[in-house]
Amino acid sequence: MQLRPNLAVKQAGVCTACGGPLDDTSTDLACLGCLLDAGLQQELGGDLAARAMEPAEQFGIYTIERREDGTLWELGRGAMGVTYRALDSSLRRAVALKLIGSEWLNRGAEPRERFMREARAAAALRHGNVATVYQFGVHEETGQYFCAMELVEGETLETRVRRTGPLDALTSVEIALQVCSALAAAEKQGLVHRDLKPGNLMLAALESDESAVSVKVIDFVRQSAR
């Protein structure tokens, strides 16, 4: 839809944008209404274009939440996709909703089947130091794959070190022990985390002892089954 006056098709007494008659408040090209529309379109064009690039907000029972400024509540980006904060409308709880990049799944039926097989295995893993996977699914209209996971309130180990500097020895050992416990549990189910790094280790302070840390290994999406 063209909102700006078309200089090449000027016609005396007629708005070149909408074709309506011009009056005393109009210019020799466009009526006042079309000029206002053109101004608004120019002002909001960047925002509308950004919104057009946003993903769908509703994925089954999960609705991506928005921040106070109206933008989607993004939690992080990785090699396989983008993770958002979302609301489970059924249980009324916040979750981490990861949208899997289409380039990982548009490689034929075999890669998609393998992905879903491994996803089911990851969802079956239950451990205190592993962020629980609630559901994998596909958006019916767009074909977008998504993963709903436990939302861990806290910060990643990478963020903690950048914020406070190197960890003390006791804290480092405690984190290592919890991570090893999580990986051992995964190993028993034939799962291997293929992207283990500080950015995939969430640290959450315990309510009973704020000085202690509880480690959650996240993003078991990129695992492989034996």
Mean local confidence (pLDDT), 36-49: 47
Please tell me the pTM assigned to this model.
0.66
pLDDT score recorded for residue 192: 82
d(CA 151, CA 90): 16
Q: What CATH number should be reported for the domain whose range is 58-225?
A: 1.10.510.10
What residue spans in the chain does CATH classification 1.10.510.10 cover?
A: 58-225
CB 192 within 8 A of CB 226: yes
Mean local confidence (pLDDT), 201-207: 81
| pLDDT higher than threshold 50 for residue 40 | no
Catalytic residue (choose from 23, 37, 88, 195) = 195
Burial string for 21-59 (b: 16+ CB within 10 Å, else e) reads ebeeebeebbbeebbebbeeeeeeeeeeeeeeeebeeeb
101 Cβ partners below 8 Å, 6+ apart?
Answer: 80, 81
Mean local confidence (pLDDT), 131-137: 88
Rounding to the nearest 10 degrees, give the CA dihedral for residues 191, 204, 58, 61.
Answer: 70
Mean local confidence (pLDDT), 165-187: 94
64-78, 188-202, 203-217, range with the lowest pLDDT: 203-217
Active site residue 195: yes
